Amino acid sequence: MIQARRCGRCCPTVEQELRLDGHTPLLAMAAFIDDSGALSLLGLAAVRIVVFRLVSSQVPRPYMDEIFHVPQAQHYCMGSFSQWDPKITTFPGLYLIAASLSPAFRLMNYMGGAADDSPFDSVVCSTGQLRSVNAYVLGPLCDLLVFCILSRTYVVKGGSVALRLIRVALFPPHWFYQLLFYTDTAATATLLLAYYLYLSDRPRLSGLAGSVAVMCRQTNVVWVAGMAGLIAWDALTDEERRALPMSLLRRGNGGEGEGWPLCRVLHRVWLHAAVCAAFLAFVVFVNEGSIVVGDRSHHRPVLHWAQLPYLYAYLVCFLLPPVVCAAAGEMIMVKKEGGKKEIPVRTTEASKDATRVLVSVKRALFACTVFLVCYLCVHHGTCIHPFLLADNRHFVFYLWRRLLQKPLVRLYALPLSLSVTSLFSASIFPSSCRLIECMCFAACCVLTLVPAQLLELRYFMVPAMLVLMHQRPLGMWGEAGGVVMHAALCAALVGVFAYLPFVWGDGTEARFML
């Protein structure tokens, strides 16, 4: 998955991290951008501006969780850092980012940014201005970071990289929450920055970005710890890995394993470790053992094992259709060539899988295992949060009410469908990742999702985007199919949210959203 990373066992100095390959991190990112990448980034920014203005004109007032986030950010913009809404459950990273941009908002108001046709008003850190933090700053930053990550890890260069960028950028939950003042975009952008710096062999800067990511969302500490584990693993030689844990206390004889392995590991991961240690200290000694900083009554940790089959189904829904498009494109090209065209090896996995299914006992056993694990997770690990049943503004309310609430669907149809799609997992999921990377990813998914009682689709955003960035290349047909699918879903989400409100019994206007 991340074999393109230039990882050495000797930690670069701070000066080397700031100027690796003769570039600062910002210039290093810019060095990846070619013509197709620049056009894609500009096109995404232009579309985002248009859609943002549309949403702001239709929904000018704070909506849903914005009724908590917007006033809190406005307190920070005014310098009132001691005021805190007890219903907010996340760290104040997003509010600090907004407060740092408040001078720019004041300048915009002074220069006439509060014109009648503007989504902004004369109030500093207004709803429109706060939403623009995500739409105009953090959203484009996510796009740039995704492109830089793809430029390091994507196997096939060229136009399909730009299509993969657009596909990831238009990932529906990620795109939708860029239009509102939610914490998701800030949490994703800072985590992607930490991940990009990790891939670039800048462990200290990665740890620093990881600290900002944790300030935007507490569960990001799990992904920071995962990066620390991979950095530590790569700092060891093969011989030292085989002899763990005692090899950490043995001095190396020379070469790549020179010096004390434990010192070598700590030299690379100390900042990540400090972030994790500080977070644990806060939870244990300051916050009474809870990672939630506000309303704990509705966010108690549980063992919600059903989140894992839900995540698997979520990934399949977004990853499988482009694979089908890729296979269909291959067959069309072969038919046009009269059956003489040789299909590139990298794009034939989808079509090859169909014949392998019938003869592969190994895959059949794997599918049975997937069915059994999914069944056990759903049967013994389903938790129903009161919010899931009480709020009909979220699509997941209808997903649960119409489908997952029914035992036949949840206990049998869902595990069966996932076991069938697992037969094509070689085509759907990344194939070039190392075992340690897969184990680390799985552990992070378990630690971030299983304790969450509430089923909410945006909780799956980070693992889904990571898998999407590292999915095997699908060629022009597959990537284009994925772009069309994501664009259609984004248009539907925005259209329903902006133009199809409904009214509750008490006369309150409500809107459908993720």
How far is residue 191's CA from residue 17's CA, in Å, rounded to a whole number? 18
Residues with Cβ within 8 Å of 289's Cβ and at least 6 positions away in sequence, in order, are 283
506 inside domain: no
How far is residue 311's CA from residue 382's CA, in Å, rounded to a whole number? 13
Residues 326 and 434 both lie in one domain: yes
146 inside domain: yes
142, 189 Cβ separation under 8 angstroms: yes
10-residue mean pLDDT profile of the chain (514 residues): values are 48 59 55 72 95 95 95 93 91 96 86 53 82 96 94 69 93 97 97 96 95 96 96 80 61 54 86 96 90 81 95 94 88 72 50 54 85 95 89 92 92 92 78 85 96 93 95 88 96 96 89 91
Among 223, 256, 286, identify where a domain stops: 286
Helices 435-449/307-336 angle, 10° precision: 130
Residues 115 and 198 both lie in one domain: yes
Residues 139 and 234 both lie in one domain: yes
- Domain limits for position 115: 14-286
Cis peptide before 245 (omega within 30 of 0): yes
319 inside domain: yes
1 inside domain: no
Structure tokens at 277: 């240690």
The values of phi and psi at residue 252, to 5°, are: -70, 155
Q: Give me the residues paired with residue 289 across strands.
A: none
Residues 146 and 214 both lie in one domain: yes
CA distances from 248 to 201, 228, 257, 263, 441 (A): 22, 16, 11, 8, 24
488 inside domain: no
9 inside domain: no
Residues 85 and 116 both lie in one domain: yes
Residues 408 and 440 both lie in one domain: yes
Among residues 157, 160, 184, 4, the alpha carbon closest in space to that of 90 is found at 184
How far is residue 285's CA from residue 485's CA, in Å, rounded to a whole number? 47
513 inside domain: no
Residues 314 and 425 both lie in one domain: yes
Residues with Cβ within 8 Å of 371's Cβ and at least 6 positions away in sequence, in order, are 415, 416, 418, 419
157 inside domain: yes
Residues 247 and 324 both lie in one domain: no
To the question of pTM greater than 0.85 for the whole model, the response is yes
Residues 221 and 166 both lie in one domain: yes
**pLDDT at site 12:** 64
**pLDDT at site 2:** 47
Among 440, 456, 473, identify where a domain stops: 473
Q: Give me the residues paired with residue 154 across strands.
A: none
Residues 325 and 467 both lie in one domain: yes
Residues 319 and 451 both lie in one domain: yes
Among 222, 256, 286, identify where a domain stops: 286
Largest CA distance in the chain: 76
The values of phi and psi at residue 259, to 5°, are: 90, 180
Residues 183 and 235 both lie in one domain: yes
The values of phi and psi at residue 502, to 5°, are: -135, 170
Q: Phi-psi bin for 263: left (phi > 0), alpha (psi -120 to 50), beta? A: alpha
Residues with Cβ within 8 Å of 241's Cβ and at least 6 positions away in sequence, in order, are 233, 247
**pLDDT at site 114:** 47
Give the count of domains, the chain: 2
- In single-letter form, the type of residue at position 38 comes to A
Reported in sequence order, the residue ranges of 462-512 that DSSP labels E, i.e. its strands, are 502-503, 509-510
Among residues 478, 491, 502, the alpha carbon closest in space to that of 397 is found at 502
